[in-house]
Amino acid sequence: MKHDLIRLAVVGLGNIGHAAIEAIYAAPDMELAGIVRRKTSGAEGTSYGVPVVSDIAKLKDVDVALLCGPTRTIPETAPIYLQQGISTVDSFDIHGEPLWELRRSLHAEAKAHACVAVVSAGWDPGTDSVLRTLFLVMAPRGLTHTNFGPGMSMGHSVAAKSKAGVKDALSMTIPLGSGVHRRMVYVALEKGTDFEAIKKAILEDAYFAKDETHVTEVPNVEALQDMGHGVRMERRGVSGQSHNQHFEFTMRVNNPALTAQVMVACARAAVKHLLPGAYTLPEIPPMDLLPGNRGDLIRSLI
């Protein structure tokens, strides 16, 4: 970092990209270097008072690229930036093997180019993952349940929308407890589309097949959309030999705003604190995510 403020580029300008720009403007130690969009091709310009470009090389002194595009593009997009020595933060959200595979491959890439990749920075995966880790630390034996919602699931909405004849779709996640969820799917159909056939296709889709799912036809999906989401995570377990330890975390949030806020905080850790390599959120010291000096933070927060 050869400058006073951490310089960020926002790559992709959907819900997360817009929210990331708001979080950068609210941060005392950061500035927006520019926006990278695929679609500009020739028609580059400015937005939010910064350059909009199709190639990050046209922006000056970028420390971190916030990858705000779709999850499935991250494995091929992130290395492009890392190979230029630009650190990346993404919110890749496919848990399990794909997440570990991404973390593993970007680790090698980031180390080779002396920069940092923060993988799956958001709230789940992300801050929820830190809490699951902490709950396991506090009570090594026991069960954790993560209950999502009520709130809109992006992945399930996209899956429902992908059926031929569906104009727009919204899938709400309703928590039934113990990590079991109901899916409430609202679809707006193109003229002449058979609702019963669509309903059947959605119920058979792998995204929905395992959960209780209700499909309803509505004239207008947009009128139902709300970015609010929530979580209730609970663990009951044993510390040492003491049973009946109980921990619970709940939140109600604007979903893209929280995701973007966490990504921006991870960019700070990437530039100021972390050694080259790739990290998931529970692999980062939480205090490295905050601005301010160590003494003040320890005196006021601990």
Of 165 and 286, the one with the shorter C-beta distance to a second copy is: 286
Of 61 and 97, the one with the shorter C-beta distance to a second copy is: 97
Which residue stretch of 29-37, 74-82, 153-161, 239-247 sits at the interface with a second copy (rule: CB under 8 A)?
A: 239-247
Kind plus residue range of the DSSP H or E element containing 230: strand 228-239
Shortest spacing between CB 18 and a second copy, in angstroms: 9
Q: Kindly tell me which residue out of 14, 85, 140, 177 binds a second copy, with binding defined by CB under 8 A.
A: 140
Which residue stretch of 5-13, 16-24, 61-69, 172-180 sits at the interface with a second copy (rule: CB under 8 A)?
A: 16-24
Q: How far apart are CA 163 and CA 107, in angstroms?
A: 37
Q: How far apart are CA 236 and CA 105, in angstroms?
A: 35
Shortest spacing between CB 136 and a second copy, in angstroms: 6
Q: Kindly tell me which residue out of 22, 31, 44, 211 binds a second copy, with binding defined by CB under 8 A.
A: 22
Q: Which residues contact 123 (CB under 8 A, 6 or more apart)?
A: 231, 251, 253, 255, 258, 259, 262
Inter-CA distances, 280 with 77, 188, 254, Å: 17, 38, 22
Q: Does residue 48 belong to the site contacting a second copy (CB under 8 A)?
A: no
The footprint of a second copy on residues 147-166 (CB under 8 A) is none
Shortest spacing between CB 33 and a second copy, in angstroms: 18
Residue in this structure with the two tokens 């669509």, named with its chain if needed: 198
Shortest spacing between CB 73 and a second copy, in angstroms: 20
Q: Does residue 99 belong to the site contacting a second copy (CB under 8 A)?
A: yes
Shortest spacing between CB 241 and a second copy, in angstroms: 4
Query: Are the C-beta atoms of 259 and 126 separated by less than 8 Å?
Result: yes
Binding mask 248-287 for a second copy (x = CB under 8 A): xxxxxxx--xx-xxx-xx--------------xxxxxxxx
Q: Kindly tell me which residue out of 129, 153, 171, 173 binds a second copy, with binding defined by CB under 8 A.
A: 129
Write a three-state SS string for 243-279. EEEEEEEEEEEEHHHHHHHHHHHHHHHHHHCCCCEEE
Query: Are the C-beta atoms of 33 and 61 separated by less than 8 Å?
Result: yes
Of 19 and 198, the one with the shorter C-beta distance to a second copy is: 19
Of 41 and 300, the one with the shorter C-beta distance to a second copy is: 300
Query: Are the C-beta atoms of 149 and 172 separated by less than 8 Å?
Result: yes
**DSSP-derived secondary structure for 191-220:** TT--HHHHHHHHHHSHHHHTSEEEEEE-S-
